[in-house]
Structure 1
Amino acid sequence: MGIMSKILGGGGNRSVEDYVELDLDDFAEARGEARTQVHIAEIADQGDVIPIKDAVYDGDLVIADITRHSTSDRTVEHIVDELRQVAQEVDGDIVQKGDDQLILAPTGVTISREKLE
Structure 2
Amino acid sequence: MGIMSKILGGGGNRSVDDYVELDLDDFAEPPGEAGTQVHIAEISDKTDVIAIKDAVYDGDFVIADITRHSTSDRTIEHIIDELRQVADEVDGDIVQKGDDQLILTPTGVSISRQKLE
* TM-score calculated relative to the size of structure 1: 0.75
RMSD of the alignment, in Å? 1.3
- The reply on whether 1:46 has 2:53 as its aligned counterpart is no
Secondary structure of the corresponding residue to residue 79 of structure 1: helix
1:74 alignment counterpart: 74
Deviation string 1:24-49 (CA, Å, 9 cap, x unpaired) is 22xx5xxxxx6110000000000000
1:94 Cα offset (Å)? 0.2
Runs of 4+ residues over 2 Å off in structure 1 = none
Give the share of equivalent positions with the same residue, in percent.
79
Structure in which a larger fraction of residues adopt helix: 1
Alignment of 1:25-64 (within 5 A): 25=32, 28=33, 35-64=35-64
Between the two proteins, the alignment pairs up a number of residues equal to: 91
1:23 Cα offset (Å)? 2.3
1:10 alignment counterpart: none
2:99 alignment counterpart: 99
The match for 2:31 among 24, 43, 55 is: 24
1:22 Cα offset (Å)? 1.8
Secondary structure of the corresponding residue to residue 72 of structure 2: coil
Mapped to 2, the partners of 1:85 and 1:77 lie a distance apart of 12
Of the two, which has the highest radius of gyration? Answer: 1
* Structure 1: 5+ residue stretches without partners: 1-19, 29-33
* TM-score calculated relative to the size of structure 2: 0.75
